[in-house]
Structures are given as structure tokens and as C-alpha cells.
Amino acid sequence: MLDICALRADTPACQTVLHFNNAGAALMPTPVFNAVTNHLTLEQNIGGYEAARATQEDQAAFYTEFAALLNADPDEIAYAENATRAWDMAFYGLPLNPGDRILTHASDYVSNMLALLQQAQRRGLHIDLVPSNASGQIDIAALEALITPRTRLISLTHVPTQGGLINPAVEVGRIAKKYGLIYLLDACQSVGQLALNVRTVGCDILSGTGRKFLRGPRGTGFLYVRKGFLDQIDPPFIDLHSATWTGPGTYTLDPTAKRFENWESFVAGRIGLMQAVRYARQIGLENIELRISMLASALRFALGSTPGITLHDQGAQKCGIITFTKQGEDPEQIRARLHKSQINVSTTQRSSALIDFDARGITSLVRASVHYYNTEAEIGRFVDVLSG
């Protein structure tokens, strides 16, 4: 259904590298690159403020494009400099009190876990870790059983950084709605490779990045906050963009999700991320999801058939992230060896997934992650070099 040749032509790096590190940072397509560099050229030629005024239409399109991507309202979208800052701007402003309880899972992202631990110490909160089911994903029955009268928040990572499982975000949303809990979803690794609908998921907050499967520039991210929930969050810091100084001792917050933004931001990056979302929507997220799923299944099959390779992905449903180890070779050695052959992968370490890795007796893994512009021929070459 996709014109892979045209998509690869839009991605010049496909001619020089085999890129299986899309969960780290995907290859940027030419229209996105041009959007960023054209604005930087405009800033160079006429000035930063003047360039911003000249591109107001593209900046406004950031909100409408993301709203269409997520089935949200433009007023529910905010720009952020990265996914962690987007997540923090929501989490640190939540109305949580001493004794309140937070439900999370071992697959939650390391930065999120650190923030939960910090706030638990500062504010007297309690963290309840929901166990995994037999497939390794969050156990829905156990989640519901752990809810108490003091439970306030479910914090979940949709797709973890350390593997290919897809947590059942929609089922978690139903539990959150049933008990009136705040639902915070980290979609950093899922947005751009899975078709996401915030109304179907039922989350109050969703955060994500630009550089991964959306194929946007680094240093860009976004935040979705449900309109009916906006006023329950007190942003941890504000400025002249997110609020209005109404009197010597008064101010009002922006009525939209822009209350979580800063006045100063990477305008070229914002325009580039807008273009990345537009590019993905033109391809179709359902088409992207199907293509990535097909390639990931093919890579898992090829690796699973290779002597000495052990796959480590969990989950009843899996995505485009494939993790493995090779007998007799350290993951970081594998990454460095593949890099010499112009093959990009990454590794994930215990420090990023401490609870999950300790439970499985893992210290590090090779992480290969495919995108729609990858090919079956690249899978064959990857396995050949890996085996060699």
C-alpha cells in the first residue's frame, strides 16, 4: 500500500546507512529537513522575531496537525522541547496530596520513575507497582485489585524503551474512568508507529517526542491534556506566554494547553515537527502501523532462526522494537561492530529498566527498531552481518 521507493527517496540516508535505530531517533525525511532549514535560513536573513511573525500560519498548523493525528482539539495540544519536559509539566502540576497513591508498572520509562520517586519523597506519596501478566504487560486484573480510596493516578508507558511490548492502554483507560482516576500516558515510543486516538484510549494526559517514529527534529515534543481536565493542573512554572499578568498581584493562566508552554522555544523545530506530523498523516497511520508490524515480525522470525540469538521482547501484542542478545558477544560490542558496517542499532541498559531487567535477570540488550522505510532486503543484510 506504500510507495517504499518514493519514501526512501525522501530519506537520503537510506542510501548510506541501514537504520534500525528508529526508537532512538528516526531518519528525517527531506520535507521535514527543509522545513527546519528554511526557517533557520529565514532567521539568518531577516531576524528571529521577524521570521516568527512571517511563519505564524505554519506555527498555528502545529496544533491542528497534532489534533488531527490524535483525534483531539487544537486547544488540547502544547509544544514542548522534549517528551520528558512535556510529561513533567503535567505530572508536577497534578493535585496530589500526602498519602495519595500512584499506580505504575515496571515498564514505565526511567525518567518517569525518577520523577515519581522524587515526588513520593517530597510530598509523601505512595507508589504501587502493578505486576505483569504472563505476557509481561501490565496485568489489568491486578491493576484494578490494587486501587484503594487513596489511589489518584495511573502512570503508564504505552511502549517501553527496553522492548517491543505494547501495553493495553485502552483497557487501562477503562479502569481509570471506572474509578475516576487521573490517567497519564507516555506515548514517546508509540506515537508515529501506532494509530493513536486519545478519545478511544481515554487518557487525561499524553506526552510524546518528535525525534522517534514521527521522524521529526531532535529537541521537540508535545503534550496533550484533555480539555475537561486542564483546570485541575497547576503548571509547575509559568511565564508571559502561558499566563497573563492582570494586576499587581494577579494573573490568569492561558485557557488552553498553551499554559504548559514557554514563550521562548525552537521555532524551526516546531515547524519541522508540524511537517513531520503532516507527512505521517499523508502516508496514513494505519498504513504505517501495518508496515512496521510486518517488518518487525519478519525481523523477529529471522533473528529467532539464527543460532546464538535470544529474543527478549514481551507482550501479547508487539511493535517495531526488537530486543535480543547474542551468545558470546556483549550488546555494546555488537552495536559498535554493526556501526562499522553502516548499520545503526542501540543498546538498552539495566539503569534504564532496573525493575524489569532485574526481574528477568538481564543487564543489557541490543535494541533494533524498524520503520516503514526499511526493507526486507535490509533485514537479510542485518542478520548476515550480525551472524558474521
pLDDT value at position 388? 83
Structural domains of the chain in order of their starting residue, each with its CATH number: 4-28+285-387 (3.90.1150.10), 31-282 (3.40.640.10)
Tens of pLDDT along 336-359? 999 999 999 999 999 999 999 999
> pTM of the entire structure?
0.97
| Average pLDDT of adjacent 10-residue blocks, the chain of 388 residues | 95 98 98 98 98 98 98 98 97 98 96 97 98 97 98 98 96 98 98 98 98 98 98 96 97 98 97 98 98 98 97 96 98 98 97 93 97 98 95
Query: How many CB atoms sit inside 10 A of residue 266's CB?
Result: 17
**At residue 205, what is the residue type?**
I
Residue 56: phi and psi, rounded to 5, are: -60, -35
Q: Are 183 and 204 in contact (CB under 8 A)?
A: yes
Between CA 184 and CA 66 the distance in angstroms is: 18
Task: Look at the alpha carbons of 84, 85, 86, 92 in this order and tell me if their dihedral is positive or negative.
Answer: positive
For the chain, give the secondary structure using H, E and C: CCCHHHHHHCCHHHHCCEECECCCCCCCCHHHHHHHHHHHHHHHHHCHHHHHHHCHHHHHHHHHHHHHHHCCCHHHEEEECCHHHHHHHHHCCCCCCCCCEEEEECCCCHHHHHHHHHHHHHHCCEEEEECECCCCCECHHHHHHCCCCCEEEEEEECCCCCCCECCCHHHHHHHHHHHCCEEEEECCCCECCECCCHHHHCCCEEEEECCCCCCCCCCCEEEEECHHHHHHCCCCCCCCCCEEEEECCEEEECCCHHHHCCCCCCHHHHHHHHHHHHHHHHHCHHHHHHHHHHHHHHHHHHHHCCCCEEECCCCCCECCEEEEEECCECHHHHHHHHHHCCEECEEEEHHHCHHHHHHHCCCEEEEEECCCCCCHHHHHHHHHHHHC
